Amino acid sequence: MTGMKRAVGIDIGGTKTAIGAVDVSGRIVARTSFPTEAGAGFDLALRRILEGIDRTLCEAGWSRRDLAGIGVGCPGPVNPTLGTIHNPYTLPTWNNCDIVSPLRAALGMPVFLENDADAALLGETFAGSARGCGKVVMITFGTGIGTAVLVNGRIYRGCRGEHPEMGHIPVEEGGPDCYCGRRGCFEAVASGEAIGAAGRAANLADSRAVFAAAAQGNTAARQVIDRALRATAIAAWTILHTFLPERIVLGGGIAEAHYELFAAPFRESVAAATMVPQSHITITRAQLGNDAGLVGAAALVFSDRSDRSV
Amino acid sequence: MTGMKRAVGIDIGGTKTAIGAVDVSGRIVARTSFPTEAGAGFDLALRRILEGIDRTLCEAGWSRRDLAGIGVGCPGPVNPTLGTIHNPYTLPTWNNCDIVSPLRAALGMPVFLENDADAALLGETFAGSARGCGKVVMITFGTGIGTAVLVNGRIYRGCRGEHPEMGHIPVEEGGPDCYCGRRGCFEAVASGEAIGAAGRAANLADSRAVFAAAAQGNTAARQVIDRALRATAIAAWTILHTFLPERIVLGGGIAEAHYELFAAPFRESVAAATMVPQSHITITRAQLGNDAGLVGAAALVFSDRSDRSV
């Protein structure tokens, strides 16, 4: 039975869609990608995905009947139970689109859907820096701040199946407005977008320019980064005393480029937090980079670790 | 089989121990209590507990063989998996004391141990204000601030089986020192002890005096309460965006006496939080009062909802 050892992972993004043939060790054997062009309609995207699956299988030297199933990761809101995507923000026109049923019908195999942040966490747990861990929080520092939580080996879901939004932990009284309805959220201070916005007030073009200027001693830039790191320390303390994970994985472009900077407030929080089992908590860098979502989508197939109860 | 419908719940406190004969509906049929006197030694306490169980059964008209088991709730640290209590703070001399094995040996039936905050939450879930809910956060406003979380019907545990300590959510930059290793924690601003300490600076004897003075328009007292409520609003926002519970239960002496005051910041947070399924989240008052721990301890027997995986 090779079938139980091979899967296809699909990572749908606002810009591009990546498809990979993934083996049970988490290795991507072959891959393809193409522009998502959500605005061109969901039906076209479905056709491209089916073509992409066949192209990837061909390149891998696998056939459809080798596959245990298909896993899909997609920017939320998605409903893993119903198999639907409803993300008018980054996938315009995809309103309550069922991606699971048509793929299942076309391919005759199990199809799983997961939020992209949760898929990335599953990837890191399956074949990356949190392998073998049961209780994991992953924080993705990118344009925004994404969070995902694994509890006893399964994706954590709250009320109505929604997943934690720890980018909205309040960290600063009277801080910048946040789209969530509050001010001074973690994301509103420490995300790439927030750092970029604060930098523009000091004539720095974007978050990359802020980090570069701070490294060269620019005071205004340093203040922006220090503020983001203070926010990170507060979020770290909160995460330690709420989910109490054994492992905290830092991913996303900003954490990748400035890992030591962002790991420090986490490490310092663990060292100072007397109420938690400090010596059993590890901070790590995400290992799979941009492939985490692809591998995690495939991992959905190998072991269904997505808690679907709502 | 009456056996599956009857249990004994034991609620060990720093001051007194309560024992109740509890039926499967959560009704306390008979009860007894006695001083815990932890300092007099664990063996004496065990003897008193065994006597108390028989006394309670006698009063209920039940016999030992009617029982499905015994549940024990106790102020932590406790280890539900090992069945041990290790709480030198409020139960002096009880250092790593195994309470489960001797009770099981003496009574020949299953015995379960749980942290008291978690037992109270199980009580409210089994027969109180969160009946039938799968995802619940309970916050106990008393001398300190206790928290417990139910996920998919089971007590949430983090790393090494520890339970969430949301009293240590940071809510105030540069706020009062907290014993946890940080400053400005929720508990350091909004607990009975914190309110009392802030009140003493204004010549008010304790938290009760602060609430009374605030109700009569005393400005200093109002400021203390307003500060506690601001802290509560931040903790509420954090809880909504981390655990995303469907129900938040407020218990403890202070929330009981001033429920509307403390429910307001939770309700306002739900109303403002656009990222969570607002209409599916309810704030409620704990219903069982001091009996929640007793009923919850018995509920451990009726359905083992304590997640023992670590």
pLDDT 10s digits, B42-83: 999 999 999 999 999 999 999 999 999 999 999 888 889 899
Nearest 10 degrees: Cα torsion B154, B155, B161, B165: 150
Q: Which top CATH class is A2-122?
A: alpha beta
Q: B237: which 2 tokens?
A: 């926002």
pLDDT at A304: 61
With beta carbons under 8 A apart, name residues in chain A contacting B238.
Answer: 169-170, 238, 242
Instruction: For strands B6-12 and B16-23, give the pairing.
Output: antiparallel
The answer for residues whose C-beta is within 8 angstroms of residue B56's C-beta and 6 or more apart is B8, B19, B20, B21, B30, B31, B32
With beta carbons under 8 A apart, name residues in chain B contacting A280.
Answer: 159-160
The chain-wide mean pLDDT, for chain A, equals 93
pLDDT 10s digits, A276-307: 999 999 999 999 998 999 999 999 999 765 55
A132-286 belongs to CATH 3.30.420.40: yes
Compute the average pLDDT of residues A167-175. 95
* Ranges of CATH 3.30.420.40 domains, chain B: 3-122+291-302, 133-286
Q: Does B32 score more than 70 pLDDT?
A: yes
Compute the average pLDDT of residues A264-284. 96
pLDDT 10s digits, A133-147: 999 999 999 988 999
End-to-end Cα, chain A, rounded Å: 33
Q: CB distance from A272 to chain B under 8 Å?
A: yes
pLDDT band at A89 (very low <50, low <70, confident <90, very high): confident
Q: Where is A238: in which H helix or E strand?
A: helix A219-242
pLDDT band at A14 (very low <50, low <70, confident <90, very high): confident
Q: Does B307 score more than 60 pLDDT?
A: no
pLDDT at A72: 98
Domain topology for B3-122+291-302: Nucleotidyltransferase; domain 5 (3.30.420)
**Does B158 contact A246 at a Cβ distance shorter than 8 Å?**
yes
Compute the average pLDDT of residues B174-184. 93
* Predicted model pTM: 0.91
CATH number of B133-286: 3.40.50.10880, 3.30.420.40, 3.30.565.10, 3.30.465.10?
A: 3.30.420.40
pLDDT 10s digits, B74-116: 988 888 989 999 888 789 999 999 999 999 999 999 999 999 9
Instruction: Sheet containing B97-98: give its strands across.
Output: B78-79, B84-85, B97-98
* Ranges of CATH 3.30.420.40 domains, chain A: 2-122, 132-286
Q: CB distance from B274 to chain A under 8 Å?
A: yes
With beta carbons under 8 A apart, name residues in chain B contacting A234.
Answer: 170
pLDDT 10s digits, A199-245: 999 999 999 999 999 999 999 999 999 999 999 999 999 999 999 99
pLDDT at B261: 97
pLDDT at A261: 97
**Does A158 contact B243 at a Cβ distance shorter than 8 Å?**
yes
Q: Does B123 score more than 60 pLDDT?
A: yes
DSSP 8-state code for residue B79: E
pLDDT 10s digits, A106-130: 999 999 999 999 999 999 999 999 9
Q: Which of the pair, A15 or B106, is modelled with greater confidence?
A: B106
pLDDT at B52: 98
pLDDT band at A1 (very low <50, low <70, confident <90, very high): very low
pLDDT at A67: 96
Nearest CB partner across the interface for B244, out of A134, A135, A158: A158
Q: Which of the pair, A104 or A143, is modelled with greater confidence?
A: A104
Nearest CB partner across the interface for B160, out of A165, A166, A280: A280
The chain-wide mean pLDDT, for chain B, equals 93
Q: CB distance from A274 to chain B under 8 Å?
A: yes
B39 vs B90: CA distance, rounded Å: 10
A242 vs A132: CA distance, rounded Å: 21
With beta carbons under 8 A apart, name residues in chain B contacting A173.
Answer: 172-173
A6 vs A114: CA distance, rounded Å: 18
Q: With CA atoms as reference, report the closest residue to A116 among A305, A297, A298.
A: A297
